[in-house]
Amino acid sequence: MMSHLEQAYEYDIRIRLYDDRASPDGVVILAEDIGEGVIHEKGGVKIIAFEVDHTPVKPAFGYRIDHAGRSVVLSGDTRVSDNLIRYGQGVDLLVHEVASPETFQRAGAPPERAKSVVAHHVTPEQAGKVFSRARPKLAVYSYIVLPTATEQDLIPPTRKTYSGPLEVGEDLMVITVGEKVEVRRPSRSSPEATAVSRLTAFEEPHNGVERARLTMGNLAFLSAALLTPSVMQHRTRRRRGPRSFNGVT
């Protein structure tokens, strides 16, 4: 795939090399196929890829990131996956996809089409069962299908099968994983500011372990940020104003 991508951009590459005089090193593509297992381990950061079920897409991967005694799992696209539950046991943060059937009904999608799409993902009730089995310190929904889904579409049905700490991801949300797991939501008055929510999903005695600050978004940004500083910044598909709660949502 990457070699064909390079061919697709051949004209652009040639112009930049011979007209703009760009460095040849800047157009070199370094790609490596991965399988299940450790795909990166450096500077105390370990990233594990594990297979999930997104049939007919095979392979499909989720990722577990470990650093300084802290752990984050990202589901990627998946149905209910026992392998994800295994890798997500007791993690600090489990970021999981979800599909809301109600959003398809409101959008007027043909029932068979809606059923087909939802079957490739996890409903809120199914996600709740996953969280109950994995028992993360905090579960967060990201990659929400359809992105018009509201908290009312997601939280109440999840609560039928899961009673633990739960959040719905949004633009500019920051999750701090350390002695406790905290969520900061963006201020409604200033797009660039963040207001601290009173989330204490899990707290443990001070032990000097470094904290990692995470923001919602795509895996590429997440992994890159973990490999350098311990701050990740990325976006989900929607924004909402500040909200605070104490304990479980």
- CA distance to 82, 113, 121, 196, per residue, from 52 (Å): 8, 23, 11, 34
Residue 245 lies in a domain: no
242 belongs to a structural domain: no
pLDDT tens sequence across 69-111: 999 999 999 999 999 999 999 999 999 999 999 999 999 999 9
Task: Report the pLDDT value the prediction gives residue 2, as an integer from 0 to 100.
Answer: 85
Are residue 222 and residue 116 in the same domain, yes or no? yes
Per-residue pLDDT band at 189 (split at 50, 70, 90) = low
* Residues 20, 129 within the same domain: no
Residue indicated by tokens 């890159």: 224
Could you tell me how many helices (H) and strands (E) the chain has, helices first? 8, 11
Tell whether 86 and 201 lie within a shared domain: yes
How far, in Å, CA of 13 to CA of 28, rounded?
10
Say whether both 20 and 84 belong to one domain.
no
Q: In angstroms, rounded to a whole number, what is the distance separating the alpha carbons of residues 109 and 70?
A: 41
Q: Is 242 helix (H, G, I), strand (E, B) or coil?
A: coil
Q: Which residues, 6 or more positions from 26, have their beta carbon under 8 angstroms from its beta carbon?
A: none
Same domain, 18 and 38: no
Q: What's the domain count of the chain?
A: 2
**pTM more than 0.85:** no
For residues 191 and 194, what is the distance between their CA atoms, to the nearest angstrom?
8
Q: What's the domain range around 174?
A: 32-227
